[in-house]
Amino acid sequence: MRLVVKYTIGEKVKYISHLDFMRLVQRALRRAEIPVAYSKGFNPHPKLSFASALAVGTLSDGEYLDIILDREMDPKTLCHRMNEKLPEGIRFVEAVAIDEKAPSLMSLIERGEYLIKISGVKSRKIDAVSLIENFLKQTEIVTIKKTKKGDRQVNIRPMIHKIDIIDQHQDGITIKALVSTGSKANLRPEQLIEALLDFANISYYPEFLVQIHRLDLYLFQDGKLVTPVDME
């Protein structure tokens, strides 16, 4: 049996690294007595994978786990048992059964939606509407991507699909952005923020003045964006 599980990440666990989070989930699965299937060989490991790694310090309402069980189990029971063993700040909110032969979630995810609050801009008031409109009119938005082989220039404009202004407050703005996420193309929200501030001629300021909240992850099905728990 194969399940896709949707879970959330709250304030108390947002600074846990992805590796530590994986270990935490595996430990909770054992304690909750979830019948996870294991690989064969000298070093068996649980058959589970995550749709997309979440950056440390980011909240999320829409993270996904792809898990294979060695026997049938009610999805609601799995969520209930896991929530009894998981620490505060992590909640399994929904699980659905999918075809065991379906591609991995990691290969299917193509979009991520983020709520981004930028505050601390006290030097001058931002004209948010004009800023976003002119920013998106650019045909190229070049940023520097650091890799193991060194720095390289990347045009991130094709990876920015939508930006909506949610709020314009006294010292900054809150936006909702839909960007490319996944194995095919991936734009980190930090890259988007840096490019936006650079366009506005505002120096990038301390991280605590930027709050990032991932709202959900999406894949394409019949030309439409759907979440992993809504795919058919």
pLDDT tens digits, residue range 195-213? 998 898 877 665 448 899 9
What is residue 149's predicted lDDT score, i.e. its pLDDT? 80
Amino acid at 52: S
Cα separation of the two ends of the chain: 16
Helix locations, 48-163, DSSP H: 75-85, 105-108, 128-137
Categorize the per-residue pLDDT at 171 as very low, low, confident or very high, splitting at 50, 70 and 90: confident
- Structure-model confidence comparison of residues 152 and 25, the more confident one: 25
Please tell me the predicted confidence (pLDDT) of residue 74.
97
CATH number of 2-102: 3.30.70.580
Report, as an integer, the average pLDDT of 144-167.
Answer: 90
Same fold, 2-102 and 110-230: yes
Residue 20 pLDDT > 90: yes
Q: What is the pTM of this model?
A: 0.92
Class of domain 110-230: alpha beta
Answer whether residue 51 shows pLDDT above 90: yes
Q: Which helix (H) or strand (E) holds 191?
A: helix 189-199
Domain boundaries, the chain: 2-102, 110-230
Torsion, Cα 36 217 103 156, to 10 degrees, reads -130
